[in-house]
Amino acid sequence: MALVSLQSIVNEFGLEIVANFGNLNEIMISVADVTRPGLQLAGYFDHFGPDRIQVLGNMETAFLGRLNASERLGRLDALFAKGIPCLVLTRNHQAMPEVLEWARKYSIPVLRTAEITSSFTSSLVKFLNVELAPRTSLHGVLVEVYGEGILILGESGVGKSETALEIVKRGHRLIADDLVEVRRVSDKTLLGRAPEIIRYLIEIRGIGILDVKELFGVSSVKMQENVDFVINLELWNEKKTYERLGVHEETTDILGINVPSITIPVRPGRNLAIIVEVAAINFRQKKMGYNAAKALTDRVFGPNTY
């Protein structure tokens, strides 16, 4: 199961540390949900998730301010006693003395941000959804061609990296070469990126390791991209019948999501970079409602025969 340290969240959002007990790297977040504990401060804890980050905004702070000191102590004690990972104060609210008292007692960090509550919570949930998403690593290449994330798969030596290099030279962008980390960030969305250690690097047999960002500039690379389309490269097999009209649609299952895909046979004389470009354009065209294979079938056999 994926985990995110509280320290990485502090670094990502530039949070101010109001109370720290030396455990930011030890506190691990395992859920992408965030709670504004209004009901809990009122005493209702049914279905409460103590493993969620707790955020206090204007409403929660105003509610606590209307309680007398004894009530405030009791309500905050009940919240902190649940073992929450941390408490975040938005809009630069000052930490009440009772908050700091129970934070010290239970060693629970208190953090602060100047952002408004809704903006901060939505950004935090989005960040956690990506970092905690189910993931897998695939041997392939991920490029962005005409705004589409194209994942190129195939056996070692089939020409994936060389194709990616030519695609970059033609003005498109590289996301990952050799190893692609794919995360399922929603029921319909896959996000791909390169492991940090090999980010923006590409290996060309006979030349070695190339830094694409340094060779072609920052416009030639991208940190991450959705996986919209899969192209499977394979050495040409004379005994195999390959799709010629594009009538039958293939899919590739990645983390339970069926991604549209095609299989391209590789042999000398084929310009794979141009084929990938055209495949990306054709894929976009299908998404916009036009299918050339269907149009041809309609011409030959009449409408609604596809």
* Catalytic sites, residue numbers: 139, 160, 178, 244
Burial of 21 (0-12, 13-18, 19+ CB in 10 A): middle
> Does residue 120 contact residue 113 with C-beta atoms inside 8 Å?
yes
Element holding 29 (H helix, E strand): strand 28-29
Backbone Cα Rg of the chain: 26
Residue in 209, 199, 212 with CA at minimum distance from that of residue 166 = 212
- Contact (CB, 8 A) for 95 and 18: yes
Strands 87-89 and 53-56 come out as parallel
Residue-wise over 1-19: b if at least 16 C-beta within 10 A, else e? eeebebbbbbeebebeebb
The torsion angles phi and psi of 211, rounded to 5 degrees, stand at -95, 105
Continuous segment of H or E residues that includes residue 294: helix 292-301
d(CA 72, CA 74): 5
Residue 216 in tokens: 């072609």
Q: Can you read off the two tokens belonging to residue 111?
A: 């953090």
Pick from 295, 290, 280: nearest CA to 144: 280
